[in-house]
Amino acid sequence: MKALVFIESSSDYFKLIRYAQSLFEEVCFFTIGSEDMLWPDISSPIFRVLKKDSSYHPCYFSKIVSDLYDQEKPDVLLALDHSSNRDFLPGLSMSKKASFFSDVSEVRLQDHSLFIQKPLYTGKLSAQLKVLQKPCVILLNPSALPLTQKYEKGTPQIQDIPFEPFDTPIKKITRVQSSQVKKQINSAEKIVSGGRGMGEAKNFELLEKLAETISAAVGASRAVVDAGWVPHHMQVGQTGTLVSPKLYIACGISGAIQHLVGIQGAQVIVAINKDASAPIFKKSNYGLVGDVFEIIPALIKELSKA
């Protein structure tokens, strides 16, 4: 089975290279606008599209990947699941009559058949699917990639492909940072999250401080996002981001089911809440009943000791 794999310099791409190589007999990789990217010593073909930069443009990316797809005729087009790949790859799947699978947590090959594991109902269930329609486009959840040792940097053969911008219905794309984000919750290994029990918006400073102490990202429950305390991109749960960090510390979050399904991928969950009957405790590994305004400062103090 042959795979064409989209490698992005902004991601932990060594993991994706190793994952693709371990799965498929034949793999080729490509990147868009990342000329100075480091590559390991691999013998698979690497295509480097010479776009001025790697920033996303739906029409350019569609055209580039469509051309490569026609040239390589893969059975599987593999990429990471994120906002831009979800933006242009569904249309590409449609035009190539390929099936499309996103939010994929595992790909497996068995007797020349392709099997996919993915969460259903935001993780309340997990489904194993057998792919019947090939070719297919698979978007892998970044958090699903197994940890690997870093490759040694190498000097593989790279084929450069020229790219010329063209006229599109999209006249302009500008990018702005909507709010100060130190760490993103979707890829963070540790997350400190706050809910109604934090009292008011400005008390999130306390969570920021705790997060800084352990280099964690700060998340929030739906209730406080809806109340306007913090922006939506910080929301953990069903209509926010599903997270799977090593450590999740829920502060003053009672634990609505939509929140709980959003954190069930976490390795260790700690809940701090003044209400001993809060549902979050049932889904946690460690529970601390008490005042967040006493416990969080005590935690910061304890963590700063080491």
Interface positions, 84-143, toward another protein (CB under 8 A): 84, 86-95, 99-103, 115-116, 118-133, 136
d(CA 177, CA 74): 37
d(CA 245, CA 232): 19
d(CA 288, CA 249): 11
Provide the minimum distance between the beta carbon of 57 and another protein in the complex, in angstroms, as a whole number: 9
Q: Does 69 bind another protein (CB under 8 A)?
A: no
Angle made by CA atoms 300, 218, 123, in degrees to the nearest 5:
125
Given candidates 13, 56, 69, 204, which one binds another protein under the rule CB under 8 A?
56
Please tell me what DSSP assigns to residue 111. T
Show contacts with another protein in window 143-172 (CB under 8 A).
Answer: 168-172
Provide the minimum distance between the beta carbon of 40 and another protein in the complex, in angstroms, as a whole number: 26
d(CA 224, CA 193): 11
Interface map 203-222 toward another protein (x if CB under 8 A) = -----------x--------
Q: Does 40 bind another protein (CB under 8 A)?
A: no
Given the complex with another protein, which of 38 and 120 has the nearer CB atom? 120
Given the complex with another protein, which of 15 and 283 has the nearer CB atom? 283
List CB contacts of 54: < 8 A, sequence separation 6 or more. 8, 9, 10, 31, 32, 33, 34
Interface map 233-272 toward another protein (x if CB under 8 A) = xxx--xxx-----xx---------xx-----x--xxxxx-
Provide the minimum distance between the beta carbon of 273 and another protein in the complex, in angstroms, as a whole number: 11
d(CA 204, CA 109): 46
Given the complex with another protein, which of 155 and 177 has the nearer CB atom? 177
d(CA 237, CA 43): 41
Q: What is the phi-psi region of residue 54: left when phi exceeds 0, alpha when psi lies from -120 to 50, beta otherwise?
A: alpha
Amino acid at 264: Q
Q: Which residue's structure tokens are 């892998």?
A: 140
Show contacts with another protein in window 265-304 (CB under 8 A).
Answer: 267-271, 281-291, 294-295, 297-299, 301-303
Provide the minimum distance between the beta carbon of 150 and another protein in the complex, in angstroms, as a whole number: 21
Provide the minimum distance between the beta carbon of 47 and another protein in the complex, in angstroms, as a whole number: 23
Given candidates 184, 196, 208, 212, which one binds another protein under the rule CB under 8 A?
184
C-beta of residue 78 within 8 angstroms of C-beta of residue 100? no
Q: Does 232 bind another protein (CB under 8 A)?
A: yes
Given the complex with another protein, which of 50 and 170 has the nearer CB atom? 170
